[in-house]
Structure 1
Amino acid sequence: MAAGEPMGMYTPGKITEIEDDEEFQDETLIERLYGLTEMFPESVRNASYSAAITSCKASKALYRFTRRSMWIGSTSLMILAAPIVFEQERFALEQQQLSQQRQMLLGPNAAMSGAFGMPQGPPGMAPPPPK
């Protein structure tokens, strides 16, 4: 800039000088990030690196734990609960077959009442004694 020119005035020659100053080398993202690391002290860089490594290891450990827990829980549920469900289904089928047999032998109203007109309680209980 010449001594007598105001600050905001640009001449065509000055624009060319500014454009020449703005020529940058193409940098990759990795090069730019590495250049930014020089802004921070070594202790900050080491702490952030160790925090990133620790969080990655913790994420992997949590994933492994969750995977193993789900496997143990699901197989245990299948081993412990499946037989109960099968027995309940078998019991319901037997009751339905008994009801159908009574209906065929004694008529449609007999299936609703107990065996030979006696009320029937829950399974495993004896019928009430006659009065």
Structure 2
Amino acid sequence: MNNQLCHADVQTLPGDLTRRAADFFRAISDPTRLKLLYLVAGRGSENICSHELAQALQVAPPTVTHHMKRLAAVGLVERHQQGKWAYYTVNNPKFCQLNSLITALGTPCPLLEDGGHCIQKAQ
């Protein structure tokens, strides 16, 4: 069995990047936020109203506002206010990076003969 890791070089992250990465992962760690993000992304470049998001997930509008603020803070969505309603669009480049990461989490490491996942074989 091959015990190589899928990465070639592990380095310590610089302090600022460590903080930004932690903020980003905290923002996407909530299942409701991920559902909201994917609903917004499903609209492409079209705005979606916070009221529509609340109805789609059957949650209170203040709950949507709370979660969307977290997603906006890390740059995954952009917020536009029109009267009393907030509208959101996805930041497509950031969303595509996140979607690739999420997809990769379920992909077996090609370096392992048994098809196990990369982090399972660290020595």
Report the TM-score range of the alignment, normalised by the length of the smaller protein: under 0.3
Q: TM-score, length-normalised on structure 1?
A: 0.19
Name the structure with the higher strand share.
2
Name the structure with the higher helix share.
1
Q: TM-score, length-normalised on structure 2?
A: 0.20
Rg larger for: 1
